């Protein structure tokens, strides 16, 4: 004989009983106080910025440099034994990001690891 339906019915009954009593001023009396309402404010609609041709060219160039730099990191992580700092720098990686990547490459070399697959850039957003 299976007791699961009985157990499920008992659990549901207990849950409904506890839910009915939660927040009641006195046990066994339903709570008739409406929950506090939160004001609804309309969310602002994002506007599409209008870029000058010079700004658009700079944005396109920056996205291209970023994509190139990320691709160099993917190549380095696929075969960390052949990765070099010079190749990463030539591709546009630098600063704290370069230090982080070099640490990851070192870790993978020491552990015999490598990356399979590539990182995909899902979106780039311009913050003003």
For residue 117, the model assigns a pLDDT of 86
Helix axes 53-78, 95-111, angle to 10 degrees: 20
69 inside domain: yes
Which ranges constitute the DSSP H helices of 1-128? 4-21, 53-78, 85-90, 95-111
105 inside domain: yes
99 inside domain: yes
Q: What is the pTM of this model?
A: 0.56
Token couple for 36: 């506090």
30 inside domain: no
- How far apart CA 59 and CA 50 sit, in angstroms, is 12
For residue 122, the model assigns a pLDDT of 87
Please tell me what DSSP assigns to residue 124: -
Structural domain total, the chain: 1
72 inside domain: yes
Give the tens place of pLDDT for each residue, 90-106. Answer: 999 999 999 999 999 99
Give the tens place of pLDDT for each residue, 14-71. Answer: 444 444 444 545 656 666 666 666 556 655 555 667 899 999 999 999 999 999 999 9
- How far apart CA 73 and CA 61 sit, in angstroms, is 19
122 inside domain: no
67 inside domain: yes
What domain range includes position 73? 53-111
């Amino acid at each position: 004989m299976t007791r699961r339906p009985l157990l499920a019915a008992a659990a549901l009954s207990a849950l409904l009983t506890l839910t009915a009593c939660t927040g009641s001023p006195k046990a066994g009396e339903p709570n008739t106080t409406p929950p506090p309402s939160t004001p609804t404010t309309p969310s602002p609609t994002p506007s599409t910025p209008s870029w000058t041709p010079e700004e658009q060219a700079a944005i396109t160039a920056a996205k291209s440099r970023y994509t190139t730099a990320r691709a160099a990191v993917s190549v380095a992580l696929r075969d960390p034994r052949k990765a070099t700092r010079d190749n990463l720098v030539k591709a546009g990686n630098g600063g704290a990001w370069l230090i982080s990547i070099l640490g990851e490459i070192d870790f993978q070399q020491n552990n015999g690891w490598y990356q399979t697959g590539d990182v995909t850039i899902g979106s780039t957003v311009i913050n003003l």
